[in-house]
Amino acid sequence: MRVMIVYGRAFDVNNKQLNDACRKLIGKTIMARVMDMSAYVGPDGSRFWLGDKELGRVDLCFLRSWGPGSFEQVTKRVSMMEHLELSGTFVVNPVQAYRRARDKYSTMCALAKAGLPIPSTYVTEMAHWAYRASKRFKQAVYKPLVGSLGFGSMKFDDVDLAFNAFTALERLGQPLYVQEYLEKLGHDIRVFVLGDRVLASIYRVAQPTEWKTNVALGARVEPIKLSSRLERLAVGAVESLGLVYAGVDILEDEDRVVVLEVNGSPSWQGLQRATGVNVAEELVKYVVGCMKR
């Protein structure tokens, strides 16, 4: 079996562990920076290259990122992954499911259609409209539409400060994705879902002066055993997006349970450290099993 891992600009520790797991369980793995890939499609079939070397047949591709770039560059990369998928490669996560999960707006729409609980969310490109919407919330959060790891997210207690930020973002051509801020009581839950089961789950506990619970920003992690209700919710969120695996962020308190986000290419370092689960190996074993069915 020929396996390829497609990543963006940087080859991070998650990709390294995934590469190690593939080599251990399958064999030699092709590491491909997505911007270095090229393709041909014509009446005589399809061909793909990595740099100047033709790839030939690829049976399995782990899609971890399509990297930063212009709209045209990212569109080309998405289409090339679709092309690879249409050519018979088993792509994980599936391209359209991954695209939907990368887009927070699209994710919320899919979760809402599935009847799953989500935060109240507004999306616009007009600062004055976002300002008016934010007045409905006691506290509002702006998030980059395709951001990750918590970078770039901002919480506002004052709508006039929010308006200043929205105006600057509008000038930069950024869409404004604004949610009601839900108090996390200092922590939320990250659930790693693999297929139709929960592989592991953790509390992510924010630093004392921080509202963000992202591990990349210093949050502390603690292993937890989920209730069957929360397990069903996490698995349902992943199924609603058509993903094979994902990290699901959930807020639970005495009054409510809400799905905050679904990450189609999650980092698992904090979860692995807290639970001792070898996430990369479990992921590879599961996907190979799916291909054999």
Would residue 245 count as lying in a domain? yes
pLDDT at 149 over 70: no
Whole-model pTM: value is 0.92
Domain that holds residue 173: 121-180
Would residue 198 count as lying in a domain? yes
Q: What is the CATH number for 17?
A: 3.40.50.20
Question: Residue by residue, what is the 3-state secondary structure of the chain?
Answer: CCEEEEECCCCCHHHHHHHHHHHHHCCCEEEEEHHHEEEEEECCEEEEEECCEECCCCCEEEECCCCCCCHHHHHHHHHHHHHHHHCCCEEECCHHHHHHHHCHHHHHHHHHHCCCCCCCEEEECCHHHHHHHHCCCCCEEEECCCCCCCCCCEEECCHHHHHHHHHHHHHCCCCEEEEECCCCCCEEEEEEEECCEEEEEEEEECCCCCCCCCHHHCCEEEECCCCHHHHHHHHHHHHHHCCCEEEEEEEECCCCEEEEEEECCCCCHHHHHHHCCCHHHHHHHHHHHHHHC
pLDDT at 164 over 70: yes
pLDDT at 165 over 80: yes
Asked if 105 and 199 sit in the same domain, the reply is yes
Rounded-to-integer distance, Cα 190 and Cα 175, Å: 26
* pLDDT for 150: 59
Burial 74-110 (b: 16+ CB within 10 A, else e): bebbbebbebbbeeebbbbbbbbbbbbbbbbebbbbb
> Any idea which of 114-128, 146-160, 207-221, 260-274 has the lowest mean pLDDT?
207-221
Would residue 249 count as lying in a domain? yes
pLDDT, averaged across the chain: 92
Would residue 284 count as lying in a domain? no
* pLDDT for 148: 65
Would residue 290 count as lying in a domain? no
Q: What's the whole-number mean pLDDT along residues 249-262?
A: 89
Q: Indicate the number of domains in the chain.
A: 3
pLDDT at 217 over 80: no
Q: 75-111, pLDDT tens digit by residue?
A: 999 999 999 999 999 999 999 999 999 999 999 999 9
Asked if 143 and 54 sit in the same domain, the reply is no
Select from 97, 292, 271 the least CA-distant residue to 199: 271
Q: 21-69, pLDDT tens digit by residue?
A: 999 999 989 999 999 999 999 999 999 999 999 999 999 999 999 999 9
37-42 and 45-50 strand pairing: antiparallel
* pLDDT for 274: 94
Write the single-letter amino acid at 209: T
pLDDT band at 218 (very low <50, low <70, confident <90, very high): confident
Would residue 260 count as lying in a domain? yes
